[in-house]
Chains A and B, each alone.
Chain A
Amino acid sequence: MAELQLKSVEKTYGSGFKAVHGIDLTVEEGEFMVLVGPSGCAKSTTLRMIAGLETITGGEIRIGERVVNDLVPGKRGIAMVFQNYALYPHMKVRNNLSFGLRLKGRPRPEIDGATQDVSKVLEIEELLERLPKQLSGGQAQRVAVGRALIKHPEVFLFDEPLSNLDAKLRASMRVRITDLHKRLKAEGRPATVVYVTHDQVEAMTMGDRICVMREGHIMQVADPVTLYERPANAFVAGFIGMPEMNLVDAILTTPDGVPHLTLGDQTVKVPEGLGERLGITEGPVKFGIRPQHLDVCPPDTENALSGTVTTVEFLGHEINLHVGVNGESFVAVVASDRLSAIPTRGETVALKPHGNRIHLFDRHSEENISLAGL
């Protein structure tokens, strides 16, 4: 197992299109790093560059002590799990697992032993004599993981491995993979993992740290809690969390020396602690608040934004309330048992933000300015 380092790694295609803009990323030994971002953010390209399936046009990739820029994939000490499994269709599961070892010319007993061990860990012992086309999606994905595991690679690479599975199976495979990662760590052979996904639930639940990417840039690298509570910029704030964070334009003003946020004709007081930390005291900002951090109150509540309910989504345990405030749409998530009566469409309500959960972003750089001094 080894540390993985990316230093100003770039990828420019022949057409001149720059997909990856000099990213720096260090994945520590035994760490589970998730690369997440919307499609087209170059997360898969980055993974493929680590694997050696794409060349890099600038920078340096290190696995352990070695610079692997010019090594072929087979010599980098990596193993990869592909989105559509990529099992060899003409080989039985047993041979799919052992293909890499057989290529290396390992002795027969060692190969058989390793195959046995891996199939036991992944509970695919009964499937060894089957062909890939006789496997279900979940089984095929386990075999694909097994094919990576059997090589004892220094770095595991996962390229959206669960996106072809149905929701239920995805949830169980998620747990299985994190369990496996923990188990390997407990057994004293921690696995360094880079896991690409576009699914933020996977990212939040699986990653030790998460690297959020956008258009070939890294937006933030942090553990899940930090990412959720202290997003570095508006993009991360909007990307992480369900439903999305409410992000609207507002003006920061300081009447009587007390910072206020003005949205159209409504104002909300900025909590004291936050107001002092802000670098600016007046000017246009982006106001962000998560739907979970809005209380639904009766109209005319102080320090709240009043608006009209446009849509009510009843999910059972909670309700998503879409409220139009000065032409901007806000979503508030409320636990259903906390409301005496479910608001109806057209009703006027007030949304009161939890003061210390307010985020303010610079309108141009989109940096989170409410984090300053924290």
Chain B
Amino acid sequence: MTASFDLNPHRLLEKKEPATAMEIKLRRRSRISSAIRYGVLLVFGLIMLYPLIWLIGASFKTNAEIFASPSFWPSEPTLSGYIKGWQTSTPYTFGRFFWNTFLIITPKVIGTAISCTLVAYGFARFEFPGKRILFATVIATLLLPNVVTRIPQYLLFRDIGWLDSFLPLWVPSAVAGDAFFVFMLIQFLRAIPRDMEEAARVDGANTLQTLVYIVVPMLAPAIISVCLFQFMWTMNDFLGPLIYISSVDKYPVSLALKLSIDTTEAFDWNQILAMSVLALAPSLTVFFLAQKYFIEGISTGGVKG
């Protein structure tokens, strides 16, 4: 026995004759099933988002209220967390720390984009002696835990005399030290046909011109993704600045947040939370502005052909 049911809701509503019992049953069943699905998604979505919502709510609470009420909605909203937090307990305002973060991020992102593109282009498009071993090394550093290299790296930078400067944070990235980004760009490049580059060579472009005029524009979504990742990771990086930077006037935001916990005995949680909200803002803004490219870059990396 075969039976076919038209489950298109529009078609069902259009029908003039009254719905049969079977149709009503199916319609109800499909509604219930989507209600359950959306309900489950909503609940889990909220659970994931709740800490963030709570954080934003709590940043407007008084210090006393934060631990008194579990609700995220402040009963007496106040901006004092933001005002006092911005002043900090140091001679500098939070503006200084944001500026420091900016000073670390900008050269680092630019250096990463340029160096990783160059290295990825080399690996993806040229044959040279030792290529396999070098590429294996790049992949190996991807698998190496960061912690392992911390101490030798620290000693190295100490001997060069770069401690308490931004150089240990900039330089490794400016020489394509982030193997993950190199790998990501190589994978993306491999998916781009070589014909355009060959056409450019026939048109008289040299290697560098081909890279700048042809490869980089085609690679743009991937490069933007790399910049975004680097931006967010650097913004959130705590350990790097903690190890290499000792003077407070050079602290980035991530260290400054910790600073307010260290200096006083009774923590002003609302100030910390308020500054955390501010610290989140740049990453979120940049992410939403570049979301289109970001997602394009991640999703097309492997399959575009």
Q: How large is the interface on B (under 10, 10 to 19, 20 to 34, 35 or more residues)?
A: 10 to 19
In the complex, the answer to whether A78 meets B202 with C-beta atoms within 8 Å is yes
Residues of A within 8 A of B199 (CB): 80, 82, 86-88, 147
Residues of B within 8 A of A52 (CB): 201-202
In A77-106, the 8 Å CB interface with B consists of 78-80, 82-84, 86-90, 99-100, 103-104
Q: Which of B195, B205, B209, B218 meets A90, CB within 8 Å?
A: B218
Residues of A within 8 A of B202 (CB): 51-53, 73-74, 78-80
CB distance from A184 to the nearest CB of B (A): 19
In B198-215, the 8 Å CB interface with A consists of 198-206, 209, 213-214
B145 on interface, CB distance cutoff 8 Å: no
A168 on interface, CB distance cutoff 8 Å: no
Q: Which of A86, A89, A90, A100 meets B198, CB within 8 Å?
A: A86
Q: Which of B195, B196, B203, B218 meets A103, CB within 8 Å?
A: B203
Residues of B within 8 A of A87 (CB): 196, 199
Residues of B within 8 A of A73 (CB): 198, 201-202, 204
B130 on interface, CB distance cutoff 8 Å: no
In the complex, the answer to whether B218 meets A89 with C-beta atoms within 8 Å is yes
In the complex, the answer to whether A104 meets B204 with C-beta atoms within 8 Å is yes
CB distance from B126 to the nearest CB of A (A): 13
CB distance from A305 to the nearest CB of B (A): 50
Q: Which residue of chain A lies nearest to B204 when distances are taken between CB atoms in the complex?
A: A74
Q: How large is the interface on A (under 10, 10 to 19, 20 to 34, 35 or more residues)?
A: 20 to 34
In the complex, the answer to whether A90 meets B217 with C-beta atoms within 8 Å is yes
B70 on interface, CB distance cutoff 8 Å: no
In the complex, the answer to whether A86 meets B196 with C-beta atoms within 8 Å is yes
CB distance from B14 to the nearest CB of A (A): 39
Q: Assuming A88-B214, A89-B218, A90-B217, is B198 touching A72 (CB within 8 A)?
A: no
Q: Which residue of chain A lies nearest to B197 when distances are taken between CB atoms in the complex?
A: A86
A108 on interface, CB distance cutoff 8 Å: no
Residues of A within 8 A of B196 (CB): 86-89
- Most chain B beta carbons < 10 A, residue from A73, A84, A87: A73
In the complex, the answer to whether A84 meets B203 with C-beta atoms within 8 Å is no
Q: Assuming A84-B195, A88-B214, A90-B217, is B204 touching A100 (CB within 8 A)?
A: yes
Q: Which of B200, B204, B218 meets A75, CB within 8 Å?
A: B204
B193 on interface, CB distance cutoff 8 Å: yes
Q: Which residue of chain B lies nearest to A89 when distances are taken between CB atoms in the complex?
A: B218
Per-position contact with A for B179-206: 1 when CB-CB < 8 Å, else 0? 0000000000000010110111111111
CB distance from B127 to the nearest CB of A (A): 9
Q: Which residue of chain B lies nearest to A148 when distances are taken between CB atoms in the complex?
A: B202
Residues of A within 8 A of B205 (CB): 74, 99, 103
A80 to B204: give the CA distance in the assembly, Å. 12
CB distance from A251 to the nearest CB of B (A): 51
In the complex, the answer to whether B201 meets A74 with C-beta atoms within 8 Å is yes
Residues of B within 8 A of A99 (CB): 200, 203, 205, 213
Q: Assuming A84-B193, A84-B195, A86-B195, is B218 touching A72 (CB within 8 A)?
A: no
Q: Which of A72, A88, A104, A151 meets B201, CB within 8 Å?
A: A72
CB distance from B305 to the nearest CB of A (A): 11
Q: Which residue of chain A lies nearest to B209 when distances are taken between CB atoms in the complex?
A: A103
Residues of A within 8 A of B206 (CB): 72, 74
Q: Which residue of chain A lies nearest to B192 when distances are taken between CB atoms in the complex?
A: A89
Q: Which residue of chain B lies nearest to A76 when distances are taken between CB atoms in the complex?
A: B202
Residues of B within 8 A of A90 (CB): 217-218, 220
Residues of B within 8 A of A84 (CB): 193, 195
Per-position contact with A for B133-163: 1 when CB-CB < 8 Å, else 0? 0000000000000000000000000000000
A147 to B195: give the CA distance in the assembly, Å. 14
Q: Which residue of chain B lies nearest to A85 when distances are taken between CB atoms in the complex?
A: B195
In the complex, the answer to whether B204 meets A82 with C-beta atoms within 8 Å is no
In the complex, the answer to whether B203 meets A53 with C-beta atoms within 8 Å is no
In the complex, the answer to whether B198 meets A82 with C-beta atoms within 8 Å is yes
Residues of A within 8 A of B214 (CB): 88
A82 to B220: give the CA distance in the assembly, Å. 24
CB distance from B37 to the nearest CB of A (A): 37
A84 to B199: give the CA distance in the assembly, Å. 11
A82 to B199: give the CA distance in the assembly, Å. 8
A75 to B203: give the CA distance in the assembly, Å. 9
Q: Which residue of chain A lies nearest to B216 when distances are taken between CB atoms in the complex?
A: A90
A226 to B242: give the CA distance in the assembly, Å. 82
CB distance from B193 to the nearest CB of A (A): 7
CB distance from B117 to the nearest CB of A (A): 15
A99 to B198: give the CA distance in the assembly, Å. 13
Residues of A within 8 A of B203 (CB): 74, 99-100, 103, 147, 151
Residues of A within 8 A of B200 (CB): 88, 99
A35 to B144: give the CA distance in the assembly, Å. 52
CB distance from B220 to the nearest CB of A (A): 8
Residues of B within 8 A of A88 (CB): 196, 199-200, 213-214, 217
In the complex, the answer to whether B198 meets A103 with C-beta atoms within 8 Å is no
A100 to B202: give the CA distance in the assembly, Å. 8
A79 to B200: give the CA distance in the assembly, Å. 10
A53 to B220: give the CA distance in the assembly, Å. 25
Residues of B within 8 A of A147 (CB): 199, 203
Q: Which residue of chain A lies nearest to B127 when distances are taken between CB atoms in the complex?
A: A14
- Most chain A beta carbons < 10 A, residue from B193, B204, B206, B214: B204
5 contacts between A and B (CB under 8 A): A72-B201, A78-B202, A86-B195, A90-B217, A99-B203
| 5 nearest A-B pairs in the assembled complex, by CB-CB distance | A74-B204, A86-B195, A100-B203, A90-B217, A86-B199
Other contacts beyond A74-B204, A86-B193, A90-B218: 11, CB < 8 A: A51-B202, A73-B204, A74-B203, A74-B205, A82-B195, A86-B199, A88-B196, A88-B200, A88-B214, A90-B217, A99-B200
Name B's A-contacting residues (CB within 8 A): 193, 195-196, 198-206, 209, 213-214, 217-218, 220
